Each structure stands twice: as structure tokens, then as C-alpha cells.
Amino acid sequence: MSGPGEVRLLVLGWNFRTAAEAVRERVAFTAEEVRDGLARLVGRGVVSEGVIVSTCHRSEIYGLADERGAEEALTRFVSEWRGLTAQELAGAGFHRIGADAARHLFRVAAGLDSMALGESEVLGQVRRALALAREAGATRSVLHRLFEWAVAAGKRVRAETEIGMHPLSIPAIGFELASKVFGELPERTILVLGAGETAALFARHATEAGVSDLRIANRTPERARDLAARVGGRAVAWETLGEQIAGADVVVGTTASPAPVVRRSDVEAAMRQRRGRPIFFLDLAVPRDIEEEAADVYNVFRHGVNDLEEVALENRRRRAREIPEAEAILEEELGKFLAWFGNLSIVPTVTDLRRRFEVARDAELARAPEADRERLRAFAEALSARLLHEPLRRLKAEDDPARKLDRADAIRHLFDLDGLGEK
Amino acid sequence: MDWQLLGWLAVALYLAAEILSIASLRKPRFPALAPYALAGGIVLQFIDLHARARALGSVPYRTLSGSMSLFGWMLAVTCLVLLLKHRERSIGPFLIPFVVIFSVAGVLIPFRPTPPRPETSGALFALHVTLAILGYAAFALSFVLSLLYLVQSRQIRRAQTGVLFARLPALEAIGGMNRTAVSIGLVSLLVSTLLGAAWAERVWNSLGDAKLAWAIFTLAVYGLLLWMDRRGWKGQRVALLSILGFGLVIFSYTFVNLYLSRAHTFR
């Protein structure tokens, strides 16, 4: 299809869909390893540009390389690096080339390839991957542009669709419901009962959301203090639970207690102290921490883990409904990127540069006196041929594919070749 | 006619306010321009109402067209107060449509000036009518807010997190706006009732009108509502009482006016 010297994008990856955790652990890279690996990849000429995206759910190596044998060379490199056989790597991973590789990155950045559909952390991870690659000196114009484009497309998808809107995690859903009672939650008091894993998960979510008054009550006070220190909350005495409930707006139950720790009578007493201000119970404990009858007290809201799981399911469906629209946006952005990338190869650049000269020549000739035009035309043609000869020869003779594209990019920019068609 | 043009311009600004508030609901970073459009509409509609009042020689309450327009204007004023006081942009789209409906009715229904009645001229009477309509407008908004409160409360309890759930503000915010609306209504109706009583005393030397009794009853219900809200019964019960209160207002506006009151038949 294309002769030697044509370059293309490729990606080699292992993610939560394709690879068992045992393999994924071996190809998970630290920032230091990423910089080091990229420097060697580019240094040895396996790829001429490279970026490694490494998160808990995926490791992906993006490269720009000569068409022939790049995947094999890359696989060999990784297998030596991580001590896995080529078969192990190939069996557990996937690879894409050309437009498919670019499309894959766009989908990753938009959260379409994530375990939690539409999550937005991945956008930051993609951005960090590009920053690391720049530090390692492994990116030039193409991958740089590809990654920036992917991030921009990911942002557009989030702004124009609801793919990142409906929360999926239980703490986030609980928070959303509570915030529809109280408004902004950061100024509110949140009381967590228990100090186990669920408590930690919720407490961390609360502090990340900006809650400053987070209280933790646990039967064993040391564990409450321990968790409070870890997440930035305050441990309160279990013996003062009644008071604590009266002083809290949101109460989260997460204890392992076999019987409810908050009874209807406790809630009634608390509501008297609260002078009727609403209270929101989030019961994440199994069996439940808050007696079900407590929800019958006036202005008391109570949700159990089942309610929230149903919302999570519904929200996942809501996000999934946005996939076609998200994909349409990605295809549009991808189309623009591929058009830019396609123009970077030598042939269109040479053609466009010649046309740029022709346009300038014709504009000048139009102003010349009629009688002189033929003679001037011949002269102008000879001059532009001579001026273009050496730059084009050098451009074509460049061996390093990345440098070749860099130069094509520079020419396109300096002569405004992308604006040529518009005039 | 010049007041028709002004009326339509005001309606156009109210519509713009509705569109702008929907836009700022959809895009949180969209600048909050709706209050400006609303304020612009209020100014234009005021000029229109003023022209009508001059033609009538009194506050335009006696013609259907005029009273619709006046009511719409009062709704707009109360709406603006709520939007500015509570900085809650998500409520605008639910309230402004009512402003639009009444203002449109005020322009569409033909306006025929009626001959002035001598006893209804003067500042005392004008203030009585104006404040009464302001009070009714505030109670009408309180009614809408209370319905929204009940809807949102039900959605939270059932964990229905759909579009309406996402768009409607938090219960506390709706409750706070309701409190403001009821306070405006209560003060307006109270002053209006006192002025009306003073006027009746002066013109007829008598206070004996069913409308007065009914107004006192309505005032008591809304007063109880505010008291409950302060005493910690806030929430659903306050919303229900506000709905009941508006029922009384409607009853007073229709049944009492037509059959019981001698001064409020508007004939």
C-alpha cells in the first residue's frame, strides 16, 4: 500500500478486559519506569515517538514507527523488559494500528473504554502520560498532537453528553441524594458510624468532596481515631451517639453490628433536639444499622444499600445511552485529527507546497502587463522549480520518520498549507 | 395601541428570561442573565399598566385584561425578589412560565376602559388593590414552590434520580424560597386588608363584609404556616399547608367575590 518510510501509529496494550491480573501486574509501570522505558524505546529506534499510558486498569504503549515489523519489535522489547514471553504478552493483550490506534486512544480519553463507563480520572491519566513522555524526550509533533487531541475530544464528550454525569459509586449516589435535601454538602456535618472499609470509602469520598465537618464514631475508639487521622475527620465518642446524631445532617451506618445501632426512639429524640430540621440516614451496613421504622419519623430520610445499588444500575444505563452520541463526537474529532495526520506525509505536503507557489505566481502574473505575461510565466516557473528543488529533496531523503513528519509539519505551518484550500 | 406593543415587549422579555434561566440551568457556567431580562420586562409592563391606569382613572383591577396583566406583573416582581434573594438559578424555569401566561392573557384579552367609579379613586384604594394582588401573586408562587417541594421530596424518598430530580433544587432551598414568598404575601395581604377595612369604614361606615372575614382566615392560615416553619415543622407539612392556603385564596377570589362579598364583585 505504501512504500518503505511511510510511518504509522500503533498501540500495544493490556487492560482489564484482555489481561488477567497476573499479567497486568507485570506490565504496570511506575512513572520512573515509564520515562526510562520510553527513553530506551526511542533510543533503540523501536519507535520514533512513544507514550505509555499506565493506570491500575490498563497499560498501553503508543508508538509511531516504520510500517514493517514495529509490533514485533515492540513486543520483543516489552518481553525483555518485563520478563514475559512474547506468547504470554500477545495472548493477554491487543494491538491496533493506524486510525484504529488513534480511535482507541480517543475512546480511552473519553472514558468509553473504562471499567466505570464515562469516569473522568482517565483524562488526567492520559494527560500525565503525555507529560511523562515529553520529559523523556519521546514525543514530537505527531503523538503530542494525538494526545492533546484525544484529551480535547474527551472533554468535549463530557461537556456535550451525560456520560460522566450520573454517579456510579454508592457513596457518590448517597451524596447526591443527601445534597438534594440540604443543598451544598461541604458546610454540613456528616457522621460516620463504624470504622471499617465501607466507612473509609465513604469518609474519603466526603473529604474529597470538600466536607470539613466529618465525624467518626466507632465502638472501639482507637479505630475511629485511626480512620479520622487517615481521612482528615474527627473521632467522637460512641457513648455520645445520641447527641452526635442530633448534631449531624447526614448519618452513614457502616458497622458490623448484628442489631441496629440507631433505633426509632433515638431518632425521635434527635429530631426533637434538631427542632425538626431534616436528617438523612444512609445505611450501608448489612445487616442494617438504622432501624427501618426510623424513616417514619417526620423529616427523616433513610436509604439502604439496595436503593443505592438500584440507582447505580439505572445510572449505568443512563450513561450507556450516551455512548452513540459520544462515539459520534469522537469520530468527528478523529476525522479532523486523521486529516491533519494524513496531510503530514510527504506526498500531500509536496503537492500543497507546489500549489502554494503556483497561487503566488498567478497572483503576481495577474498584475503584470499583458504583453510580458508569457515571458514572466516561464521565468517564474523556472525560479520556483529551482527554489523548491533542494528543500523537497532533503525532505524526501530524511531517514528518521518522526523527524520527517516534524519537518512536513513545519513546512505546512510556515507556508500555511492547511489554509490553502480555503482561499 | 401603545400599551399592546409594550405588553408584547414585556412578554418577549419574560420569555427571554425563561430561555436564559433554562440555559443557565443546563450550563452552570452560563452567566445569570435571567434576572436582567425579568427586570426589563417588569419595567415595560409597569409603563403599560400605568397607561391603562390613566385610561381607567384607577388601578386596572376591574377589567379582566387589566387584572390579568397586573397579576402577571406582581408574579414577575415576586419572582425577581426570590431569584435575587436566594441566588437559586434552578427555580426560575419553573416559576417564570406563570408570569408569561398571565402577562400574555393581559395582552390578548381585549382591554376596554370602563367609566371610573368615584369612590374607587384615591391612593388608599389603589394601594389596597395593588397590595392584595401582590399578596395573591406571592401565594401563587408559594403554591408552585410547595408542589415542587412535594415532588422533589417524593423523588428523594424513592431514590428516583431522573431529570426532574437533577434539575430541581434542594428541599432546603425550595423551603427557604417558599418562606420568602409567604412572608411577602402575608405582609401584603395584611396591609391590604387593613387599608380595605379603613376604606370601607370611610365609604360605608361599616366593616361588615364576608371578604374581610375570609381574609382574616387566610392570614391566620399563612401565619400558622410561618410559625410552624420556625418551630421546626418545616418541610412537607408546611408545603401542604401552603397548598391549602392557596386553595383559600382561590376560593376567596371566586366564590366569596361572586356570592358573599358586596364590595368585591367588580361590577
Give the list of residues 6+ apart from residue B134 with CB closer than 8 angstroms, or none: B74, B77, B78, B184, B185, B188, B192
Specify whether A176 is located in the same domain as A158. Answer: no
Give the list of residues 6+ apart from residue B148 with CB closer than 8 angstroms, or none: B91, B94, B168, B174
Q: Do A173 and B161 touch (CB under 8 A)?
A: yes
DSSP state of A398: -
Lowest mean pLDDT: which of A184-193, B106-115, B229-238?
B106-115
Q: What is the CATH number for A90?
A: 3.30.460.30
Specify whether A129 is located in the same domain as A176. Answer: no
pLDDT tier at B92 (50, 70, 90 boundaries)? confident
pLDDT reported for residue A266: 93
Quote ipTM for the complex.
0.83
Q: How many CB pairs under 8 A join A and B?
A: 57
* pLDDT tens-digit series, residues A400-412: 766 777 788 888 8
DSSP state of B254: I
Q: What is the CATH number for A187?
A: 3.40.50.720
Residue A286, in any domain of the structure: yes
Q: Which three cell numbers stand for residue A240?
A: 455520645
DSSP state of A184: -
Domain limits at A372? 345-419
How close A306 gets to chain B, by Cα (Å)? 10
A56 given a catalytic annotation: yes
Chain B residues close to A303, C-beta within 8 Å: 159
Specify whether A119 is located in the same domain as A73. Answer: yes
Residue A335, in any domain of the structure: no
Among A56, A229, A383, A387, which one carries the catalytic annotation? A56
Q: Which three cell numbers stand for residue A388?
A: 523548491
pLDDT tier at B199 (50, 70, 90 boundaries)? confident
Give the C-alpha separation, A31 to A37, whole Å: 10
Residue reference for cell 471499617: A196
DSSP state of A295: G
How close B161 gets to chain A, by Cα (Å)? 7
- The minimal CB distance from A177 to the residues B159, B169, B237 is found for B159
The strand pair at A189-193 and A213-217 is best described as parallel
Chain A residues close to B86, C-beta within 8 Å: none
Q: How many domains does chain A have?
A: 3
pLDDT reported for residue B265: 56
Give the C-alpha separation, A75 to A69, whole Å: 10
Specify whether A156 is located in the same domain as A242. Answer: no
Mean pLDDT by groups of 10 residues along chain A of 423 residues? 59 86 84 92 89 90 82 88 84 87 95 90 94 91 92 94 88 92 91 93 90 93 94 92 94 93 93 90 92 91 92 92 94 90 79 89 89 90 91 81 78 84 54
Kindly tell me if the per-residue pLDDT of B137 is higher than 70.
Answer: yes
Chain B residues close to A182, C-beta within 8 Å: 170-172
- Work out the number of other CB atoms within 10 angstroms of the CB of residue A135: 14
Specify whether A235 is located in the same domain as A215. Answer: yes
Q: Do A180 and B152 touch (CB under 8 A)?
A: yes
Specify whether A204 is located in the same domain as A85. Answer: no
Specify whether A155 is located in the same domain as A214. Answer: no
pLDDT tier at B249 (50, 70, 90 boundaries)? confident
Specify whether A269 is located in the same domain as A138. Answer: no
- Work out the number of other CB atoms within 10 angstroms of the CB of residue A357: 17
